[in-house]
Structure 1
Amino acid sequence: MAARRTAVVTDSTAQLDAATVERLGVVVVPLQVVIGDEVYDEDTDAGSAERITEALRGRTPVSTSRPGPAVLEELYARLTAEGHDEILSVHLSGAVSGTYESALLAARTVDVPIRTVDTRQVGPATGYAVESAVARLREGATLDAAAKAARDRAAAAESLFYVDSLEYLRRGGRVGAAAALVGGVLAVKPILTIENGTVASKEKVRTASKALARLEALAVEASGEQQVEIGVAHLANPDAAATLTEALTERLADQLGGREVRCSELSAVLGVHAGPGTVAVCVAPLPV
């Protein structure tokens, strides 16, 4: 019997670089950024994090857009025509983006088995969920088992981020359970997390330096004695991200087991809502 051909789809907010996408063999669907009247895929230079940072600081109107159901329907149809027997589609939290809803709607039109996964996460945590799903498939796991691996990896991950201002989250309506902080936005430097798929408050500190120190401490605490993978991301704050990356590499050497702490610029779509100055860290325990 021929081996099943399973296509794995995710979206561009998963923070998977080109080399990782190629290694995993996954298909990435771009979300869009809207700068003024122009719409760009976020994985292009025109829709890059650098471009949206410039627009945000210049107070040019910037928003984001999900891929519509028709986009995913066309993709699923193409993958089926290319000979894939089943599809696994893993996406960022449906509570902050309509991407998962688009995947659900598109899945109804496909004649092959398809599983859609709402990771209830954003950024690197979604990427780690994709990696776990691919690993299970390569071990010969079923489509359902791979989907469960993605959900379990995402649920075990902790996403933490510091934003310089809650204003961008407020503008985009993504402030979630952290809404109570908005009134005191000038008085605090919030550390946020993803809880039940939405943005929630973790801690409040008074300065950016204290916020970054707490990010480091919280990441170490989240790691515990487990073997972990860690991703650091930032928007227009490379020095702080590099400092955090270096500190975690040193402090969590045993838990990392030689794995590199990935440091990258934040997805442009996520950056629109988090704003310049953001530093984020994801701690993702390895499956046992």
Structure 2
Amino acid sequence: MSIQLIVDTGSDLPQHVIDENNIEVLPLVVHVNDEEYYDKETIQPSTLYSMMKDGAVPKTSQVPPERMKSLFEELASKNQPAIYLTLSSELSGTYQTACLVRDQLVEEGVDLDLTIVDSRSASLGYGLIAYYVSQKIRDEKTDTEQVVTYTNTLIDKIKHIFTVDDLEYLVRGGRVSKAAGFVGGLLKIKPVLHMEDGKLFPLEKVRGSKKVLSRLMELIDERGSQFENQTITISHADDLTRANELKAMIEDQLNVKNVMVNTIGCAIGAHTGPGTLAVYFLNGDPDTE
């Protein structure tokens, strides 16, 4: 029996990738204007970004344990082996809760073949790992141990580079320290950030949007390698124009296999804010250790 891959909405995968690869998706929760929503189910990114531009201050919480429990029990009833790749445990409690829910079910005697892996990634960096893993699972000869080993290899290779219009959203949500919130919007200075060990860190400051795109290209070239066998992913928060500009630059300047673009979902966008642009790639071939 083929392995069922599970992700949460922090992966920001395009729906066609989810459908084509039979990926199960669990929703993170968004709290805004005293209402609670399930990401991508009862609220869409465009709605959230409009609310944020009008002054709303959203918060998020992990995938509800009852949603996990229901899915895990369903898998067990079908004797379905599964791998749940979660949003970085440094950004969400989803990984820890999933482990607790699984362990409780096992203690209750439920026969559950479920491996839970912390992606140490976010948005389409996390989604890119899931995309590659879903392709690996298509090989019927691949067992769970082999898929998990492959997943961890990808986690070690993944690179996240992104820019935001204003660090205030990340500071407010505790995703970066207050000391990092030093950028003045009036100066048109754009902060560039990256991810290490599942955490977000400011990297540098760049003046002007055009220079940001050029600098992102330089960082891709510096930090990645073997692009000819890769899919590079771009995610954006209500900024498709710049996302497509970056896509065109990547296709023009790098010998890349494919470029995938998608909107940043509510769970991530609630913290990064409108205007965020991010790119994700590997330092190495996805199919070699």
Q: TM-score, normalised by structure 1?
A: 0.90
* Partner deviation per Cα, 1:105-150 (whole Å, 9 max, x = no partner): 1221142222110010001121222233333333222212211212
Matched, 1:137 2:137: yes
Partners of 2:183 and 2:191 within 8 A in 1: no
Describe the SS at the equivalent of 1:141. coil
CA distance in 2, matches of 1:136, 1:159: 22
Partner residue, 1:107: 102
Aligned to 2:64: 68
Partner residue in 2 for 1:96: 91
Is 2:215 the counterpart of 1:214? yes
- CA displacement at 1:5 relative to structure 2: 4.2
Aligned equivalent of 1:236: 238
Q: Does 1:279 align with 2:284?
A: no
Q: Deviations over 1:262-282 (max 9, x none)?
A: 111111211111111111111
Could you tell me which amino acid in structure 2 is paired with residue 137 of structure 1?
I
CA contact (8 A) 1:128 1:153 kept: no
CA–CA separation in structure 2 for the residues paired with 1:269 and 1:184:
24
Task: Report the counterpart of residue 250 of structure 1 in structure 2.
Answer: 252
**Cα distance in 2 for residues equivalent to 1:279 and 1:143:** 34
Match in the other structure for 1:264: 262
**Contact 1:166-1:185 within 8 A present in 2 as well:** no
Instruction: Tell me, yes or no, if structure 1 residue 182 matches structure 2 residue 177.
Output: no
Q: How many pairs does the alignment contain?
A: 277
Whole-angstrom CA distance in 1 between matches of 2:277 and 2:174: 20
CA distance in 1, matches of 2:39, 2:98: 18
Instruction: Kindly indicate whether the alpha-carbon contact (under 8 Å) linking 2:176 and 2:201 is maintained by their aligned counterparts in 1.
Output: yes
Q: Deviations over 1:202-256 (max 9, x none)?
A: 221222322222112212333334432111111121211111111111111x2x2
CA distance in 2, matches of 1:201, 1:17: 27
For the residues of structure 1 that align with 2:217 and 2:46, how far apart are their CA atoms? 25
Once the two structures are superposed, what CA deviation does each residue of 1:161-217 show, in whole Å capped at 9, x if it has no partner?
0001110001111115xx532134546421001111110122212223222221122
Structure 1 residue matching 2:99: 3-state secondary structure: helix
Runs of 4+ in 1 over 6 A off after TM superposition: none
Matched, 1:42 2:58: no
Q: Decide which of 53, 63, 67 is 1:57's aligned counterpart.
A: 53
Distance 2:270 2:212 in 1: 20
| RCO comparison, higher one (Cα < 8 Å, 6+) | 2
Unaligned runs of 5+ in 1: none
